[in-house]
Amino acid sequence: MRNLIDPIAFTIGPIKVHWYGIIMASAFLVGMYLAYRRAEQTNIHPEHIINMITLIIPAAIVGARLYYVIFEWQRYADNPWETLAVWHGGLAIHGGLIGGILAGYFYVRKHKLPVWQIADICAPSVIIGQAIGRWGNFINQEAHGGPVSLQFISKFPEFIKNQMFIDGRYYHPTFLYESLWDFSVFVFLFLYWKKKRFEGEIALLYLVLYSLGRYFIEAMRTDSLMLGPFRVAQLVSLFLIVTGTAVIIYRRKKTKHKE
């Protein structure tokens, strides 16, 4: 009998508390703390970060769920109430980014804050949150890749090996690949902060670097959202890589010209 991790962490009376929810809440809290501390080091009042995140979190969750449900509507057409069961998984990161960015932009414009500076403060928090959040997919046995051999999966820790045994087969722990990539991007952005050449560079580098890793990891996954024959996440990643790189080059040249 394999020691699978129970997706329910504990119960309080009739309420079941899922590991997925605990992990996602932890991701938000860590991100909030880091953004708050970074704001303290700048001319942005840190209370703006708390106020903004109270809007961003629900907007990101709604955006992530809507994005997923839209592309997977055939799974929910006969049971629309299941669209509310976010603890079963099914939160698309790109949808969460769209929802979060829109909410954040609304707050920044309302309070006349510097958009690019706020984006730089938030970007490292977003990527570390994604790195943590992928472990929620691990608990739910989702966001994995294709089948692998016992010899291959045995190179991983036993608890990962056991959790990646699904319906009689072992699968690529792509959640782990993306979590490690996201954490590496976070470390780079954290170290690069003092070297940034213009406001917004950290945010743009986040979009480019995250998308670069996501593009290749997405090719290994078995649960990709599809648009015809194309993987939606790969299309979005390509767009963000090209657009983000172009803006970085343009703004670096513009900054150099001013200097």
3-class DSSP state for residue 208?
helix
Which pLDDT score is estimated for 255?
82
Q: Which long-range contacts (CB under 8 A, 24 or more apart) does 160-168 make?
A: 162/2, 162/3, 162/4, 163/4, 163/5, 163/138, 163/139, 165/2, 166/141
Predicted confidence at residue 89, as pLDDT, reads 64
Label the pairing between strands 165-166 and 169-171.
antiparallel
Q: Which two tokens stand for residue 222?
A: 């078995």
pTM to 2 decimals? 0.91
CB 157 within 8 Å of CB 168: no
Taking each helix axis from N to C end, the angle separating 232-258 and 93-110, rounded to the nearest 10 degrees, works out to 40
The residue written with tokens 């480019």 in the block is: 208
The structural domains of the chain, with segments of one domain joined by +, span 8-203
Residue 171: beta bridge partners? 147
What is the Cα–Cα distance from 112 to 114, expressed in whole angstroms? 7
Q: Which long-range contacts (CB under 8 A, 24 or more apart) does 17-26 make?
A: 18/87, 18/139, 19/136, 19/139, 20/87, 20/88, 20/89, 20/136, 20/139, 20/140, 21/87, 23/132, 23/133, 23/135, 23/136, 23/139, 24/91, 24/133, 24/136, 26/132
pLDDT for the residue numbered 35: 96
Q: Please tell me the number of Cα atoms within 13 Å of 46 on its side-chain side.
A: 10
* Contact by Cβ (8 Å): 214, 237: yes
Residues of the chain falling short of pLDDT 50: 1
- Residue 77: per-residue pLDDT: 74
Task: Tell me the helix, strand and coil percentages in the chain, rounded to 5.
Answer: 70, 10, 20
pLDDT in tens, 51-89: 999 999 999 989 998 898 888 877 777 777 777 777 666
